[in-house]
């Protein structure tokens, strides 16, 4: 009886506010944010996370929508969360009825992205079949027809819904990798595994960020080649991790139009670049904005980089680039300002211990 009632109410909500089939995406920090309707209200920007076995909503939104609680509070991905019930969660015209979700305080994510994140769209709310067009920046229904330009990449599905594809490194080493749209890089592999395969040593060139307090330093290297089904990548960037699964991220996936069929366990990709794709060089000064502090972006500085040699340190707050004010600027605008071109110099103004200083920094190939 209760299930029938839920279906009737859900049908009414869909009739009140039917979203269009194709919806515009936002890209921030190399990650995708999709518009989501919750019980007919929206759109809300949700981080698309194909490696998350849950759906989370920012607590104030859950309270405003008066979502009923569905269990005791628990820990969820570093957040304290309470289970709630969503009658209809709609993404690109594909509704999930009676969706289990969590209400959590997602305000810490605002420092990372520069805006209040409304939710995390994990596997329970993800449509079974959908299309993600990174060129047109839209999410829509699964295409009715696909020509020969579409390539097939089969995947397997874990009991919790996590999708894994087969990755081959250097034509020899094979591993299952998680499709992770919340990972902005190309590849992520543990140092132990790369050392076991003989692909990482003390002499391997790497780009490493300076440590910030107790936070571990992030590092990346270049590999020779990797293949995911029929897709080959030359010189892929590989993030080094201490633990965890091998991951495929948006730096690679965004080079394709994607059509995901979870029922058939098939990822269809239409290349937006020539194949084999060569992962382009990283040019820059060696500084990366990581989080916003009182309106300014806090910087991480890479070891042995032009920025480090010029005197910048991790934790500096970005004030200006070539005289342009960077306060309150969104991440992408700051990233573009810091990009520059090889051979150029940027005048980077930072706030450190209450004083502002400007450093002239060369733009070079980093890795």
DSSP at 69: B
Instruction: Please indicate, yes or no, whether residues 325 and 351 belong to a single structural domain of this protein.
Output: yes
pLDDT tens digits, 30-86 = 999 999 999 999 999 999 999 999 999 999 999 999 999 999 998 887 778 999 999
Q: Are 356 and 319 in contact (CB under 8 A)?
A: yes
Per-residue confidence band for 15, with pLDDT thresholds at 50, 70 and 90:
very low
Q: Last residue of some domain: 243, 262, 278?
A: 278
CB atoms within 10 A of CB 254: 21
For residue 299, tell me if it sits in a domain.
Answer: yes
Name the region of 162 (left: φ>0; alpha: ψ -120 to 50; beta: rest): beta
Residue 154 CB partners (closer than 8 Å, separation 6+): 165, 166, 229, 265, 266, 267
Instruction: Please indicate, yes or no, whether residues 58 and 83 belong to a single structural domain of this protein.
Output: yes
Instruction: Please indicate, yes or no, whether residues 8 and 106 belong to a single structural domain of this protein.
Output: yes
For residue 144, tell me if it sits in a domain.
Answer: no
Q: How far apart are CA 203 and CA 341, in angstroms?
A: 28
Q: What is the pTM of this model?
A: 0.91
Instruction: Please indicate, yes or no, whether residues 6 and 122 belong to a single structural domain of this protein.
Output: yes
pLDDT tens digits, 149-171 = 999 999 999 998 999 999 999 99
pLDDT tens digits, 100-135 = 999 999 999 999 998 999 999 999 999 999 999 989
Residue 240 lies in domain:
151-278
For residue 146, tell me if it sits in a domain.
Answer: no
How many structural domains are present in the chain? Answer: 3
* CA count, 13 A, side-chain hemisphere, 218: 14
Q: Report whether pLDDT(6) > 70.
A: no
Please report, for the domain that includes residue 314, its CATH number: 2.30.42.10
């Amino acid at each position: 009886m209760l299930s029938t009632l839920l279906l009737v109410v859900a049908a009414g909500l869909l009739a009140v506010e039917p979203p269009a089939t194709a919806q515009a995406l936002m890209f921030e920090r190399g990650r995708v944010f999709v518009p989501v309707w919750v019980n007919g209200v929206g759109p809300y920007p949700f981080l698309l996370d194909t490696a998350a076995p849950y759906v989370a909503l920012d607590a104030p939104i859950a309270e405003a929508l008066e979502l009923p609680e569905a269990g005791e509070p628990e820990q969820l991905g570093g957040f304290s969360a309470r289970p709630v019930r969503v009658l209809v969660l709609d993404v690109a015209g594909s509704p999930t009825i009676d969706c289990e979700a969590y209400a959590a305080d997602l305000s810490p994510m605002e420092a990372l992205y520069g805006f209040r994140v409304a939710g995390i769209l994990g596997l329970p709310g993800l449509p079974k079949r959908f299309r993600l067009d990174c060129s047109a920046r839209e999410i829509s229904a699964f295409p009715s027809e696909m020509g020969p330009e579409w390539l097939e990449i089969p995947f397997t599905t874990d009991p919790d819904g996590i999708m894994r594809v087969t990755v081959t490194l250097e034509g020899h080493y094979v591993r299952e990798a998680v499709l992770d749209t919340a990972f902005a890089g190309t590849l992520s592999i543990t140092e132990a595994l790369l050392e076991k395969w003989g692909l990482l040593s003390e002499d391997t060139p790497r780009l490493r960020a300076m440590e910030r307090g107790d936070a571990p330093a992030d590092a990346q290297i270049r590999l020779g080649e990797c293949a995911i089904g029929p897709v080959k990548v030359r010189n892929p960037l590989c993030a080094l991790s201490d633990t965890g699964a091998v991951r495929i991220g948006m730096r690679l996936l965004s080079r394709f139009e994607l059509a995901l069929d979870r029922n058939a366990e098939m990822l269809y990709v239409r290349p937006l670049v020539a194949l084999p794709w060569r992962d382009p060089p990283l040019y820059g000064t060696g500084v990366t904005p990581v989080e916003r502090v009182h309106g300014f972006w806090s910087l991480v500085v890479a070891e042995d980089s032009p920025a480090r040699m010029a005197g910048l340190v991790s934790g500096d707050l970005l004030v200006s680039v070539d005289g342009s004010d960077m306060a309150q600027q969104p991440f992408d605008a700051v990233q573009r300002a810091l990009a520059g071109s090889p051979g150029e110099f940027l005048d980077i103004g930072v706030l450190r211990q209450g004083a502002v200083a400007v450093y002239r920094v060369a733009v070079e190939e980093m890795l």
